[in-house]
Amino acid sequence: MENIVMTETFPLSTRRLNKTYYSDSGETVVALEEINLNIETGEFVVIVGPSGCGKSTLLNILAGLEPATNGEVLAYHQPITQPNIERSMVFQNYALFPWLSVRGNVEFGLERRGISRQLRRKIAENYLNLVGLIDFADKRIHELSGGMKQRVAIARAFAVDPQVILMDEPFGALDALTRRFLQGELLRIWRTDRKTIVFITHSVPEAIYLATRIIVMTARPGRIKTQVIPNLPHPRETTSEAFRELEHDLYLALDEELARGFNFSE
Ligand SMILES: Nc1ncnc2c1ncn2[C@@H]1O[C@H](COP(=O)(O)OP(=O)(O)OP(=O)(O)O)[C@@H](O)[C@H]1O
């Protein structure tokens, strides 16, 4: 009888990923070192780490927006060499198309997928409903608040039905109330669609509130310091003892890295 070897396929994985920047002035910045990651389908992975530790660099490499210096970066075993519609990005500054309506923004990627006009409209309306913006479908982007713009960006990212959604501090520019509201919205949509999400934040409570796995990075050069799987059911009660304990542990880990980052004698 033949031996059947099952190899797991991950929507995203990296092997010994390193990234070094060489500036024009001859300075070398090692941004990422030995990043080994396997991200499974349906995970909500949140990355936290000190400023400048390489979080955005890692996300950009996973998106195919910039190359790794060494190592492998794979999507379902295939090397990631350029951006792909299967990996939607959501940025802090929304990055919407100002010349298109709200609906036009959400439909944009669907057109690239070759979906008919009628179906595009239906899909866009479904996601605009999900983010509570159906009544704003024909508005222009400049007519929206920051929170509404980010809801359009979320609808646009989910609507194309990508394999993965990469989010770089998507709620970083929003006020605390809007941020809290959108965290809940995002969780609700993620639970419905079960997309694989990789999400960067500076906020420890946000990480605990959202993640199925939290990756803590070291100060530069960014390595994976530790990974935590919050054993708390959604929706997470931010005032619960378990939440507070995890928050405390994560702050300790991050404080250690902040102190290391500021120790220039190292
Ligand atoms: N294009 C570039 N050229 C040279 N150095 C760069 C470039 N992009 C990033 N870096 C450096 O690489 C390191 C990692 O940057 P990155 O933006 O990925 O960090 P980050 O963790 O996302 O930071 P923050 O939390 O402050 O947004 C930083 O030291 C940064 O200065």
Could you report the per-residue pLDDT of 90-108, keeping only the tens digit for each?
998 889 999 999 999 999 9
Q: What share of the chain is helix, strand, coil (3-state, %, to 5)?
A: 40, 25, 40
> Separation of 31 CA from ligand 1 center, angstroms?
7
Ligand 1 pocket check for 25: Cβ under 6 Å: no
Is position 145 within any domain? Answer: no
Supply the DSSP symbol for 164: E
Question: Residues 53-85: pLDDT tens digits?
Answer: 999 999 999 999 999 999 999 999 999 999 999
User: 53 is in which domain, residue-wise?
Assistant: 12-86+162-262
> Separation of 101 CA from ligand 1 center, angstroms?
33
Among 251, 256, 260, 252, smallest CA distance to 221 is for 260
- CATH at 226: 3.40.50.300
**ipTM associated with this complex:** 0.98
Domain count for the chain: 1
Is position 180 within any domain? Answer: yes
Among 20, 57, 15, smallest CA distance to 39 is for 15
Is position 107 within any domain? Answer: no
Q: State the Cα–Cα distance between residues 199 and 8, nearest whole angstrom.
A: 23
Alpha carbon nearest to ligand 1 atom 11, residue: 31
Ligand 1 pocket check for 54: Cβ under 6 Å: yes
Is position 195 within any domain? Answer: yes
∠ CA 190-87-50, nearest 5°, is 80
Is position 25 within any domain? Answer: yes
Question: Residues 105-158: pLDDT tens digits?
Answer: 999 989 888 899 999 999 999 999 988 999 999 999 999 999 999 999 999 999
Is position 116 within any domain? Answer: no
∠ CA 79-81-83, nearest 5°, is 120
